[in-house]
Structure 1
């Protein structure tokens, strides 16, 4: 069974306008790698030059932030939704 990745509006321009993608993977890292194979332009938006997830990019498996789990090694159960949520700042 596949895992659904939710792509936020701000990043859809780098994913051919897709709001979600269905892929098969065992961990968040594997899932993100597959996502970048399909949409390479997302790479610079999600990862730093050192290959680390950018500090303003939050990734959730269901309702759980992977930073408080096992990071990109977090297991992803079949049928789960993974959400990419970039932090937004600004205003006065």
Structure 2
């Protein structure tokens, strides 16, 4: 079961947990399992077409999955996924 580190902004959607575990053979399956366990995360993670929202960054063992195989990136039982929402800032 892969470990998923949850950022503070998503913690209310997973009962306040900092880490959760989910099964899946690839990043997409693990994130879909997370969304099944915690339905409030579905719209936060995925767009209407099932793709990862563009403002959500996912890292597998410190490697951005977008430069790997995206949602098809293979996940092992001892792997860690980190979800990081993109932060926007700016000055006036």
TM-score (norm 1): 0.91
Match of 1:5 in 2: 4
**1:9 aligns to what SS in structure 2?**
coil
Match of 1:81 in 2: 80
Structure 1 residue runs of 4+, over 4 Å off? none
Unpaired runs of at least 5, structure 2: none
Instruction: Return the offset for 1:9.
Output: 0.4
Match of 1:43 in 2: 42
Distance of 1:80 and 1:50 partners within structure 2: 26
- 1:46-91 deviation per Cα after TM superposition (whole angstroms, max 9, x unaligned): 1112222111100110011110111111001221110011011124
Match of 2:55 in 1: 56
Aligned residues: 91
Unpaired runs of at least 5, structure 1: none
**2:35 aligns to what SS in structure 1?**
helix
TM-score (norm 2): 0.91
Distance of 2:55 and 2:78 partners within structure 1: 26
Distance of 1:51 and 1:23 partners within structure 2: 18
Over aligned residues, Cα RMSD in angstroms? 1.1
